[in-house]
Structure 1
């Protein structure tokens, strides 16, 4: 294994999002994430308040727009258990709706609470340009623990196969959201 990151804010980790040439792909598998930059907005969402400035997502939207202007593509597939957790509802309503408008290709792979798609891991990762793999490690409560740059070629090939499978099984977020109201409750 390679370099380990203990913070999502580390310069070397953030630099990965600037230095890739073509594609940045993310597989998300958790039903809740406990990242600090979302805590206040998640609290607002759960209490029925309106969306605030949301600086963490605003920075991501800027990154997606800038990358898109350079010909870079951001892809994401989130495997979501239905019924949706409060966090996934929040992410869909207050994040994905905005990042998709900025140019991110967000896809959803819905499963029931007891199922999981065949051939996909229950772990998160980033894959840059189909060749740079970063394995993400989260605690059971969704708190980020670490990320590791993986230098094993077989693992990189496997991550590409998982990406292709996840994209094949998923649907575009814009299609998925048609079944929900503005607070991402089923219609």
Structure 2
């Protein structure tokens, strides 16, 4: 499946958590280039590019079903331009019903973490995403073993507890 996250969200009944740990993703993204050139969306989700709109629709539909979507980002400080871009664009995630938090990497040093970004759905399945060094997705893997679920759940909750809500986090 090209977009396995959509599959996970469609099946989720209670929760979906997303842990992001990279400082750059898809560096050739045209929207990131536009942002670097000064384009801003002024916190208006109705003016986002089509791919953001489809994500917003999916997140909104999912949260309307009662599924809580939490996104935690572990970031290096000072932050990269890409993280500034993500922070600037996260108003769209929040508008779609996601809860978003940010954790400076130095505050995560003693948390046992998975080796890559992930989504976990209803504490029943985990979708790991593997990236190239440049930040492009190279593979994804579903895992359902109880030990993997427990490890991911404990790691995410530790990050979430320490992380700063989006509205309060100011990229350094």
Q: How many residues align?
A: 166
Matched residue, 1:97: 91
TM-score (norm 2): 0.87
Residues 77, 106 of structure 1: 8 Å contact kept = yes
Matched residue, 1:147: 140
Q: 1:35 & 1:48 partners in 2: Cα distance?
A: 16
Q: Where does the alignment leave 5 or more consecutive residues of structure 1 unmatched?
A: 181-185
Q: Where does the alignment leave 5 or more consecutive residues of structure 2 unmatched?
A: 42-46
CA shift in 2, pair 1:84/1:35, >3 Å? closer
CA shift in 2, pair 1:173/1:80, >3 Å? same
Match of 2:67 among 60, 64, 72: 72
Q: 2:13 & 2:23 partners in 1: Cα distance?
A: 30
Is residue 124 from structure 1 mapped to residue 124 from structure 2 by the alignment? no
Matched residue, 2:44: none
Q: 1:63 & 1:132 partners in 2: Cα distance?
A: 19
CA RMSD of aligned residues (A): 2.0
Q: 1:97 & 1:158 partners in 2: Cα distance?
A: 30
Bigger mean CA deviation after superposition, 17-26 or 60-69: 60-69
SS in 1 for 2:72: strand
Is residue 48 from structure 1 mapped to residue 38 from structure 2 by the alignment? yes
SS in 2 for 1:136: strand
TM-score (norm 1): 0.81
SS in 2 for 1:149: strand
Q: 1:99 & 1:14 partners in 2: Cα distance?
A: 15
Bigger mean CA deviation after superposition, 23-32 or 49-58: 49-58
Residues 31, 81 of structure 1: 8 Å contact kept = yes
Which aligned runs of 4 or more in structure 1 are off by greater than 6 angstroms? none
